[in-house]
Amino acid sequence: MTKGAEALCESYGQAMIAKDGRAIAGHYVFPYVSFTQGRVHSFEDRATADAACTGQVERFDRVGVGTDIRLIDYKVVPVSAGSALCHLTWEVFPVDGTPGWKWTNVYGYRKRGDEEGFEFNISDNEMGELLSRYPDFFRR
């Protein structure tokens, strides 16, 4: 199981480098839930995730952050035979001259039969760091 979670982390990093919202969404199992600073958001299905992830990639470009977001490290902590907590550390290099930064999100890996992917994330660090630099990020 750990190898599957590790491969998923690495693949997720590659999807981010490719700036491909559909590829990013392809790493989720549904329903997918995101917990961020006391708020809960979910994607009930692949079509919703595709649209949301593609829109988020576009927003990063539109706001000036850009899409040079790199997975620089990860740690997989097994929870059960079919699940793990994956701590992914990212670094961003904004195109607008804002100094880059790092953050760590936690993703919940799940293997269900032939299906595997992330079923949730906790992105407090990501959004806290992003909004401290781009407070109107979601209004653009």
The CATH number of residue 54's host domain is 3.10.450.50
What's the whole-model pTM score? 0.93
- Torsional sign, CA 10, 16, 21, 22: negative
Parallel, antiparallel, or unpaired: how do β-strands 39-43 and 69-80 relate? unpaired
3-class DSSP state of 56: helix
Domain that holds residue 39: 2-139
Q: Total domain count for the chain?
A: 1
Would the pLDDT of 1 be above 70? no
Chain segment 86-139, per-residue pLDDT in tens:
999 999 999 999 999 999 999 999 999 999 999 999 999 999 999 999 999 988
Parallel, antiparallel, or unpaired: how do β-strands 115-122 and 28-36 relate? parallel
